[in-house]
Structure 1
């Protein structure tokens, strides 16, 4: 363990250095796992006992280094509640991903015990993708560290994400790391020169062909002209004062002033950030809400204008109409929502309820299994799992027929989820977020970078309104055309090109991880069957 642990830690450090938002080091993703694979191989070839446990422990530490160094900023969102609470809770995203990653490595070891190295390495790729797909699909979802996200700062390299999504990047990274590992391992194992040359040629081809195709696509991609003027507002209101010391009317005044400062007669969408209107509004009586009336008033100057804004809303039911509904003091039930509103001059209002909720903070993980705990949380004021949601992605349509995909904060890291709105008719992606909780850390930069991947997957412009920054406009190639500075009060506008064509990825979604997950399940079954036969043979 002593000689293999430094190798695992080296992998963790290389992957961290390669990870967004660090520029110019993305290439390290292609070799970052090699020390880890060498450590696993050393343990497999050793004469020590409990090899599976050693592999799990060593790889967990390496992955913990990578994950913690990359998402250290999660702590900032919780530190206001005190270290006694913040530190244990932040250990979940720091540790849960590494636990799943290390489990994939342990399963690779078990597969090596029943087949040869080549087949086991091929199976390892499927096992890894299976872990990534699980981590974006279950109730403890946190797909921030999906390997394909690592190319977000080098988006020119992965224009083919319009066919594969981010999982194509995961496969690319693993294939090149495995080839680099086999080349290096061959030097230690007196590999035949001809075999080594074939591996080197395969590495070069599988690096250069996708890269060349991507660069060719990038430099030859042309957007169809279909302009629409969009304004993105960045009010820069301290998130810890939004619901406290700053009156709601004053916050709305700030955003309307910023909107008017650059709005044009032909502006079609004004974007305000997540929870821009922090006044809890009854959705069934929203037209009479004073905050809603104030927000809508400024639209009278813009004939075709739409206000797409974040808000806090609720709905009241006579019965427990949803699984997330909580009882009130009057014998009724209610749901709170993190909401996107689309407000028009006509008075028509469209609602979208945030669907991809942050585990723990906004939703109770495994709510059905842990339903017996709901009364406990209700006595605590509904502090955990307090938000309702809607089951699927939505689209807002303007009076002129423009389709906008409302994406609220955390949702922007789900490629397939965003693609669903595009499939339903969204012609551009509107990301509204509040990254101020993370302060001036790499979290806000990573969040912006990941939005480039959604632009490439869907070939849609992304307009991003972030409360404290970074607000931006991203074109269909993934280029950041405009962006604001962090922690500044400002607004930006852009003529974007609307697009109605559907990419292969939009039409088919996450077909790669679904196929890989099926193979991973079959491999786990294969391991279990082989282990069972082995036990019978020994008996």
Structure 2
């Protein structure tokens, strides 16, 4: 048990070292899971009892180390509720992913003992993909640690994400790790030279062909010229002081001044960060809002100008029109939204309500279980969830340009962003406020993941972050311009709009759905085996 635990811990450390924002050692992803596979193999081949329990425990420890070291910054986002409370709350995102990862490994064990090593390893990849897909789909969604995200700092290696999305990266990592593991086992089991040769050939083909295709695609890719001038403002307003210490008019003044400092007469977009308009206002009466009027006055100088900005908004209903609507005085109800707004030189105002809400802080997971509300309230959430909209939105200018408004956390969802591109978005506008995490690797990871959205859809990404890091990312995933952290500044560039659709944009997370389908078949097979295998013949689980 001790040896296997050390192997699992070593695996967790290798994965952490390879994880963004670390550069130059991404290749460790190709060996990081090998010690974990060896630990599981050792347990399966032992005479010990309770093998399934051992596998679950050992793999959980290894993956817990990987997760905690990679997303330690989650603690910074919740410590405002108090140092004592922050630690147990942080354990939720720290532990939930590893629990699901360990469950995938336990299912691998059950399938392995019911079939053989080859079927078991194929099942392991499917179980893992099913876990990743679940962890981006259910109310506790947190797909930050999807394996395919690990190539974000080496985006030149995965230009084929335009066909597969990040799940292609997950499969690639598992494939190479499994082939190395099989080669090691062929040596320890004294298998034939021909068998080892086949593994070596498969290894080099599996590593070099995707890498070679990607590098060729990267250096050969040329953007079609279709320029649009964009200015990104980074106001650098402390999120803890944003709502109370700085007057709203002054905050909008900072943004308009930054925008003016770089704008041209032909500037078409000004991108401002999440909740740049901090005072909540009614969407039905936006024309009377002082911030809106201030922005309209600013746009008078730019005939074709559009401001995409974040805001806190609400809508009032006479009946409870949505599940998230909360009661107010006078037998009315209201929904609060984390909103992106497009304001232009006309009376037309477009709204998009954040859909992928942060569990706890913006939504109450499993809201029907009322006893959980006090727990999640400690994460900064209200008594009820924010309102949302079920589908992504696209902002259109008067000239017909389509922009995909993506609010903060939503930029981790490849398929969701792709749906907006499929609807006509010609570039992606990410607005965020990463200041809650302070100067940690969380802000860098968030920026790195945006590169993958650019590759998947072959769209420029214009990223405005309140305290940084704001950036322009081209269609190959290169960060062509970026700001520093915790500075008040603005940047501008001529981006190329694109209307072509990639295979991934059209088909989304098809690999995840296929993998989940086979994972379900595997689980059914396991249940059948457990039900009809006599206990005396069953290997202890």
Q: Deviations over 1:269-296 (max 9, x none)?
A: 1000000000101000010111211122
- Following TM superposition, where does structure 1 have runs of at least 4 consecutive aligned residues deviating by more than 4 angstroms? 371-378, 536-539
Q: 1:458 corresponds to which residue?
A: 457
Q: Deviations over 1:180-219 (max 9, x none)?
A: 0011122211121221121111101110000000000000
**1:3 aligned counterpart, secondary structure:** helix
User: Could you say if the C-alpha distance between residues 94 and 538 of structure 1 is closer, same or farther in structure 2, counting changes exceeding 3 Å?
Assistant: closer
User: Could you say if the C-alpha distance between residues 404 and 190 of structure 1 is closer, same or farther in structure 2, counting changes exceeding 3 Å?
Assistant: same
Q: 1:481 corresponds to which residue?
A: 480
C-alpha distance in 1, partners of 2:371/2:184? 54
Deviation at 1:370, TM superposition (A): 2.4
Q: Deviations over 1:246-273 (max 9, x none)?
A: 1111100100000000011000010000
Instruction: Tell me, yes or no, if the aligned pair for 2:26 and 2:154 is still in contact at 8 Å.
Output: yes
**1:136 aligned counterpart, secondary structure:** coil
Q: 1:279 corresponds to which residue?
A: 279
Q: 1:31 corresponds to which residue?
A: 31
Instruction: Tell me, yes or no, if the aligned pair for 2:360 and 2:376 is still in contact at 8 Å.
Output: no
Q: 1:354 corresponds to which residue?
A: 354
Q: 1:84 corresponds to which residue?
A: 84
The within-5 A match list for 1:131-146 is 131-146=131-146
Q: Deviations over 1:282-340 (max 9, x none)?
A: 00001011121112210000000000000000000111110001111332110100000
C-alpha distance in 2, partners of 1:320/1:492? 43
**1:72 aligned counterpart, secondary structure:** coil
1:232 equivalent in alignment to 2:232 = yes
Q: Deviations over 1:50-99 (max 9, x none)?
A: 00000000000000000000000011011111122211111011000000
1:293 equivalent in alignment to 2:293 = yes
The within-5 A match list for 1:524-539 is 524-535=523-534
Instruction: Tell me, yes or no, if the aligned pair for 1:360 and 1:385 is still in contact at 8 Å.
Output: no
Instruction: Tell me, yes or no, if the aligned pair for 2:232 and 2:463 is still in contact at 8 Å.
Output: yes
Q: 1:438 corresponds to which residue?
A: 437
The within-5 A match list for 1:65-104 is 65-104=65-104
User: Could you say if the C-alpha distance between residues 330 and 453 of structure 1 is closer, same or farther in structure 2, counting changes exceeding 3 Å?
Assistant: same
C-alpha distance in 1, partners of 2:537/2:427? 62
Deviation at 1:366, TM superposition (A): 1.8
C-alpha distance in 1, partners of 2:343/2:370? 36
Instruction: Give the total of aligned pairs.
Output: 537
1:322 equivalent in alignment to 2:322 = yes
Q: 1:409 corresponds to which residue?
A: 408
Instruction: Tell me, yes or no, if the aligned pair for 2:463 and 2:472 is still in contact at 8 Å.
Output: yes
User: Could you say if the C-alpha distance between residues 33 and 381 of structure 1 is closer, same or farther in structure 2, counting changes exceeding 3 Å?
Assistant: closer
User: Could you say if the C-alpha distance between residues 430 and 194 of structure 1 is closer, same or farther in structure 2, counting changes exceeding 3 Å?
Assistant: same
**Which deviates more from structure 2 when the two are superposed, residues 322-331 or residues 33-42?**
322-331
What TM-score does the superposition give when structure 1 sets the normalisation length?
0.97
Instruction: Tell me, yes or no, if the aligned pair for 2:135 and 2:141 is still in contact at 8 Å.
Output: yes
Deviation at 1:373, TM superposition (A): 7.0
Q: 1:163 corresponds to which residue?
A: 163
Q: 2:392 corresponds to which residue?
A: 393
Instruction: Tell me, yes or no, if the aligned pair for 2:67 and 2:98 is still in contact at 8 Å.
Output: yes
Q: 1:495 corresponds to which residue?
A: 494
User: Could you say if the C-alpha distance between residues 115 and 197 of structure 1 is closer, same or farther in structure 2, counting changes exceeding 3 Å?
Assistant: same
Q: 2:147 corresponds to which residue?
A: 147
Deviation at 1:229, TM superposition (A): 0.3
Instruction: Tell me, yes or no, if the aligned pair for 1:361 and 1:385 is still in contact at 8 Å.
Output: no
C-alpha distance in 2, partners of 1:377/1:20? 28
**Which deviates more from structure 2 when the two are superposed, residues 313-322 or residues 180-189?**
180-189
C-alpha distance in 2, partners of 1:526/1:24? 42
**2:136 aligned counterpart, secondary structure:** helix
**1:149 aligned counterpart, secondary structure:** helix
Q: 1:447 corresponds to which residue?
A: 446
1:254 equivalent in alignment to 2:245 = no
Q: 1:193 corresponds to which residue?
A: 193
**2:386 aligned counterpart, secondary structure:** coil
C-alpha distance in 2, partners of 1:203/1:509? 28
**1:448 aligned counterpart, secondary structure:** helix
C-alpha distance in 2, partners of 1:176/1:538? 34
User: Could you say if the C-alpha distance between residues 224 and 240 of structure 1 is closer, same or farther in structure 2, counting changes exceeding 3 Å?
Assistant: same
Instruction: Tell me, yes or no, if the aligned pair for 1:287 and 1:293 is still in contact at 8 Å.
Output: yes
Instruction: Tell me, yes or no, if the aligned pair for 1:73 and 1:441 is still in contact at 8 Å.
Output: yes
Instruction: Tell me, yes or no, if the aligned pair for 1:59 and 1:105 is still in contact at 8 Å.
Output: yes
C-alpha distance in 1, partners of 2:200/2:167? 24
Q: Which ranges in structure 2 are unaligned for 5 or more consecutive residues?
A: none
Deviation at 1:535, TM superposition (A): 2.5
Instruction: Tell me, yes or no, if the aligned pair for 2:93 and 2:142 is still in contact at 8 Å.
Output: yes
Q: 1:302 corresponds to which residue?
A: 302
C-alpha distance in 1, partners of 2:354/2:447? 19
Instruction: Tell me, yes or no, if the aligned pair for 1:12 and 1:64 is still in contact at 8 Å.
Output: yes
Q: Which ranges in structure 1 are unaligned for 5 or more consecutive residues?
A: none
Q: 1:172 corresponds to which residue?
A: 172
